[in-house]
Structure 1
Amino acid sequence: MSSLIMIYASMTGNTGEMAEAIAEGVRSSGLDLVEKEVMDASAADLEAYDGILLGAYTWGDGELPDVFLDLYEDMDQLDLAGKKVAVFGSCDSAYEHVGAAVDLLIAKAAERGAEVVLEGLKVELAPTAAEKEKCRSFGEAFAKHFG
């Protein structure tokens, strides 16, 4: 059975709500998922899993949150070939670079050899009920890559 991990950062709870709904989608497919907040994870954790979900809100004018920077920088030491990755995060269209943290994580995963299997999922601020359903579907779609 494939091993899956989700590592995310959430300051206001928006990305955390997304993570919860995505995890429901993955688990509804009968798969197990390890969930960690980024402060409790390390880049080395990623090497132990077949599937990786990364979640981060976009901070400031298009940056990763500070709590995600160590893991992001440490990813430079990893070979993620053979790993399947998907990325999600909350964002705010009041800023010029909407959801740029999602784009940064996708680029880093691809640079390290991972196969990015889904388009990044971005939600404006707090997810609505319909957006939570979209998050669940995102989790289900990710899980299909391991069936």
Structure 2
Amino acid sequence: MNKVAVVFWSGSGNTEAMANAIKKGVEKANAVCDLFFVSDFDINSVEKYDGIILGCPAMGNEVLEECEFQPAYDEMEKFLNGKSVGLFGSYGWGSGEWMESWEAQVKDAGAKLFEKGLIINEAPDEDGLNSSEEFGMRFAQSK
């Protein structure tokens, strides 16, 4: 991939740390990577990117953040058909049910889901940041 957008929401900074490591990995794979907090991303620009990596932590009852991220994702879905999409996020409880539901939504939108979503419990440690960076590299190198 030549150009990738990483679009995320983070409340505590855990998902943001993952987003920064993913961006680093994408760039290590020699792709251009733009990083956006979800409220700063122009949803109409999805088509400008070869791939989109979306990040959001689990909230409340294992759902995406509902005030900013979920509405933006709902609007973005119409642009995802045929697009390569990666997913990531942090969580503090449960076992990742929110990610499984999100993966299904992305597939239902007609996107090409990259691997399984990357999830990290609480704040990413060094291994978690390395996993995030590797995820970004693999995504950028995928076709």
Same fold at TM > 0.5: yes
- RMSD between superposed Cα atoms in Å: 1.7
Using the TM superposition, give the Cα deviation of residue 104 of structure 1 relative to its aligned residue in structure 2, in angstroms: 3.5
In structure 2, the residue corresponding to 1:126 is in which secondary structure?
Answer: coil
Using the TM superposition, give the Cα deviation of residue 117 of structure 1 relative to its aligned residue in structure 2, in angstroms: 1.8
Q: Which residue of 1 aligns with 2:82?
A: 82
Q: Which residue of 2 aligns with 1:129?
A: 126
In structure 2, the residue corresponding to 1:47 is in which secondary structure?
Answer: helix
- The answer on whether the counterparts of 1:89 and 1:101 sit within 8 Å (CA) in structure 2 is no
Using the TM superposition, give the Cα deviation of residue 42 of structure 1 relative to its aligned residue in structure 2, in angstroms: 4.1
Q: State the alpha-carbon separation in 2 of the partners of residues 40 and 102 from structure 1.
A: 23
In structure 2, the residue corresponding to 1:53 is in which secondary structure?
Answer: strand
> Quick one: which of 116, 119, 124 aligns to 1:119?
116
Identity of aligned pairs, percent?
A: 31
| TM-score, length-scaled by structure 1 | 0.87
| TM-score, length-scaled by structure 2 | 0.90
- The answer on whether the counterparts of 2:46 and 2:79 sit within 8 Å (CA) in structure 1 is no
Distance 1:36 1:108, change over 3 A: same
For residues 1-43 of structure 1, the C-alpha deviation after alignment (integer angstroms, 9 at most, x for no partner) is: 6321110000000000001111111101111111110111243
- The answer on whether the counterparts of 1:50 and 1:83 sit within 8 Å (CA) in structure 2 is yes
Q: State the alpha-carbon separation in 2 of the partners of residues 139 and 88 from structure 1.
A: 10
Where do residues 25-44 of structure 1 align in structure 2 (5 Å cutoff)? 25-44=25-44
> Quick one: which of 131, 134, 138 aligns to 1:141?
138
In structure 2, the residue corresponding to 1:33 is in which secondary structure?
Answer: strand
Structure 2 segments unaligned to the other structure (5+ residues): none
Distance 1:88 1:10, change over 3 A: same
Q: State the alpha-carbon separation in 2 of the partners of residues 126 and 119 from structure 1.
A: 19
Q: Which residue of 2 aligns with 1:72?
A: 73
Q: State the alpha-carbon separation in 1 of the partners of residues 44 and 106 from structure 2.
A: 13
Structure 1 segments unaligned to the other structure (5+ residues): none
